[in-house]
Amino acid sequence: MSGHKLGIMKSLKALSPIKITAIYMLVGGLWILLSDRLLVAFVRDPEVLTHMQTLKGWIYVAVTAVLLYLLISYNTMVIRHSEQAMRESEERYRQTVENSPNPIFSVDREGVIQSWNKACENIFQYSRKEVIGAKYHMLLNPEERRTIEGMLNQVFEEKRSFSNVEISYRCRDGTERFMVSRLYPLLDYEGWVKACVFANTDVTERKRAEEELKRAYEKLQRAHEELKTLDEMKSNIIANVSHELRTPITIAKGAIELVMDEKDQKKRKELLKIALNALLRQNFIVEDLLQAARLERGEMKLEKVDMANLINRVTEEFRPMLMKNNIQMEKNVEEGLFATADPNQIEHVLRNLITNAIKFNKPGGSVIIEAQKRGDMVEVCVSDTGIGIPEDQQEKIFERFYQVDSSPSRRYGGTGMGLAIVKEIVEAHGGKVTVESRPGEGSRFCFTVPAARWEE
Ligand code: ADP
């Protein structure tokens, strides 16, 4: 059919029964009216008139029969054509849906799947055969069912459409796909809603990329915050370390200057002792810094260590400091306790813990050192009756450079490196450091190192 004809056909409409009846009556009425007048006007002979009347009846039947035939043929042609046009448009729609890269399916009033395109097969991994006739619930997460069901009701009851609905679908292999969907009614010839179409756009990759971006951004923000804190800490550390290194130099320098002018041997000796102690303190800080560097390089020499011996050696060094601070020391060490460890590093650990136990103690307080075997490990504990550590800081004190009080006006000296190094050394040996503390009452630090086996 040519385009022009097709255009005309499209504009034609089937006649309703009322119109057909009206045309029929009009033509029939006109025929009766005109034929009677014509007969009366032209035929004078009454006999001929009677014959003509009968003929007129037959012609009436023939004319109205032709008229009815034409009207019915016309209607049939128009209806057939509009059905074909409808079929063609349905086929076009079907093919567009079928070949769409987006997953599109439709469901009936009961939620039973009616159509399922190729993209649906690819993405949801269910073949058309498997899903047609099944409920669309199988594709939804249980939490989303209620919302979608509400929308579906409105599509069927009110012919409403919904755009930009975010739905997370579940595929056959259990993976989740995020889609932005449009729900709209599909009408039949008479305008009834025969199905609800779900036209989905798969945005899973975009959503994942967005989430990843969000996570990366949050990570970046956290890193930025950490850097900011580290920067603040760095300023404090530099100030503290410089202060800690300068104090002994000032003390030693002052003491030596006084020695030069001092004649009294006893006083000179005392001054030199002060200078020596200051230098020892400085040496301790430098040792801490060096130990940190050594740990970073992973240097460790393991041997069988007599723990009672090691503890005696280290505690002996603290005698002057204990006396000066008026602090008692108690020892409770199991005999025959051997560990597999690097003795220099374990001495360093012990020295750090005892220094803190004295430094953060109260005058007249006490320090208790205990050592015993615990399964395959040797446990050493240093307890004090000092100021204690607030609970929320008990984990943080093991971080490098962390100090409960790191203000420039703080009461206790130190670099905040000691416990971080203690933790690193102990963990490098395969042990653990723990702390129990009550502010105002004291602290107890314990560490473990592997016990030596008898054959070692
Ligand atoms: P430093 O003693 O050089 O400041 P540490 O790493 O040895 O560094 O200790 C970190 C912080 O932990 C100290 O500044 C202090 O606030 C707290 N701390 C450590 N040991 C004790 C203790 N025995 N009693 C109270 N507080 C302690």
- The 3 state secondary structure assigned to the chain is CCHHHHHHHHHCCCCCHHHHHHHHHHHHHHHHHHHHHHHHHHCCCHHHHHHHHHHHHHHHHHHHHHHHHHHHHHHHHHHHHHHHHHHHHHHHHHHHHHCCCCCEEEECCCCEEEEECHHHHHHHCCCHHHHCCCEHHHHECHHHHHHHHHHHHHHHHHCCCEEEEEEEEECCCCCEEEEEEEEEEEECCCCCEEEEEEEEEECHHHHHHHHHHHHHHHHHHHHHHHHHHHHHHHHHHHHHHHHHHHHHHHHHHHHHHHHHHCCCHHHHHHHHHHHHHHHHHHHHHHHHHHHHHHHHHCCCCCEEEEHHHHHHHHHHHCHHHHHHCCCEEEEEECCCCEEEECHHHHHHHHHHHHHHHHHCCCCCCEEEEEEEEECCEEEEEEEECCCCCCHHHCCHHHCCCCCCCCCCCCCCCCCCCHHHHHHHHHHHCCCCEEEEEECCCEEEEEEEEEECCCCC
* pLDDT reported for residue 162: 96
Say what percent of the chain tops pLDDT 70.
92
The angle, 0 to 180 degrees and rounded to 10, between the axes of the packed helices 265-297 and 418-428 is: 50
Confidence of residue 14 (pLDDT cuts 50, 70, 90): confident
- 72: CB partners within 8 A, 6+ apart: 20
Confidence of residue 39 (pLDDT cuts 50, 70, 90): confident
CA distances from 122 to 57, 84, 103, 127 (A): 72, 32, 9, 8
Confidence of residue 130 (pLDDT cuts 50, 70, 90): very high
* Averaged pLDDT score across all residues of the chain: 87
Q: Which amino acid is at 304?
A: K
* pLDDT reported for residue 409: 53
Ligand 1: which atom is nearest the Cα of residue 388? 25
CA distances from 45 to 39, 55, 57, 60, 85 (A): 10, 15, 18, 22, 58
Cα 397 to ligand 1 centroid, rounded to whole Å: 7
Ligand 1: which atom is nearest the Cα of residue 417? 6
Range name among 185-189, 204-208, 410-414 with the lowest pLDDT average: 410-414
Confidence of residue 272 (pLDDT cuts 50, 70, 90): very high
Cα 254 to ligand 1 centroid, rounded to whole Å: 28
* pLDDT reported for residue 237: 66
Mean pLDDT of 149-174: 94
Mean pLDDT of 365-389: 95
Q: Is the CB of 365 under 6 A from ligand 1?
A: no
- 63: CB partners within 8 A, 6+ apart: 27, 31
Confidence of residue 350 (pLDDT cuts 50, 70, 90): very high
Residue nearest to atom 8 of ligand 1 (CA): 416
Mean pLDDT of 135-152: 90
Residue 101 has pLDDT above 90, yes or no: yes
> CA nearest 394: which of 386, 404, 407?
404
Q: Which amino acid is at 332?
A: N
Q: Is the CB of 442 under 6 A from ligand 1?
A: no
Confidence of residue 281 (pLDDT cuts 50, 70, 90): confident
Ligand 1: which atom is nearest the Cα of residue 352? 7
Residue 368 has pLDDT above 90, yes or no: yes
Task: Report yes or no: 163 and 201 within 8 Å, Cβ to Cβ.
Answer: no
Q: Which residue has the tokens 């975009």?
A: 206
| Residue to substitute in 403, 421, 435, 447 for testing ligand 1 pocket (most ligand atoms within 8 angstroms of CB) | 403
* pLDDT reported for residue 5: 55
Mean pLDDT of 314-340: 91
Q: Is the CB of 361 under 6 A from ligand 1?
A: no
Q: Which amino acid is at 170?
A: R
Produce one character per residue of 3-28: b if its CB has 16 or more CB atoms within 10 Å, e if not.
eeeeeeeeeeeebeeeebeeeeeebe
Confidence of residue 280 (pLDDT cuts 50, 70, 90): confident
Q: Is the CB of 422 under 6 A from ligand 1?
A: no
What's the rounded Cα separation, in Å, for the pair 273 and 281? Answer: 12
Higher per-residue pLDDT: 122 or 321: 122
The distance of Cα 272 from the centroid of its chain, to the nearest Å, equals 64
Angle at Cα 388 formed by Cα 384 and Cα 393, nearest 5°? 130
Mean pLDDT of 114-141: 93
Q: Is the CB of 397 under 6 A from ligand 1?
A: yes
* pLDDT reported for residue 38: 83
Task: Report yes or no: 128 and 147 within 8 Å, Cβ to Cβ.
Answer: no
Distance linking the first and last C-alpha atoms of the chain: 104
Ligand 1: which atom is nearest the Cα of residue 288? 3
* pLDDT reported for residue 189: 72
User: How do residues 297-309 score in pLDDT, each as one tens digit?
Assistant: 667 788 999 999 9
Max distance between CA atoms of the chain, in angstroms, equals 181
Mean pLDDT of 282-296: 76
Mean pLDDT of 149-169: 94
User: How do residues 390-404 score in pLDDT, each as one tens digit?
Assistant: 999 899 889 877 767
- 301: CB partners within 8 A, 6+ apart: 342, 344
* pLDDT reported for residue 221: 92
Higher per-residue pLDDT: 247 or 169: 169
Confidence of residue 412 (pLDDT cuts 50, 70, 90): low
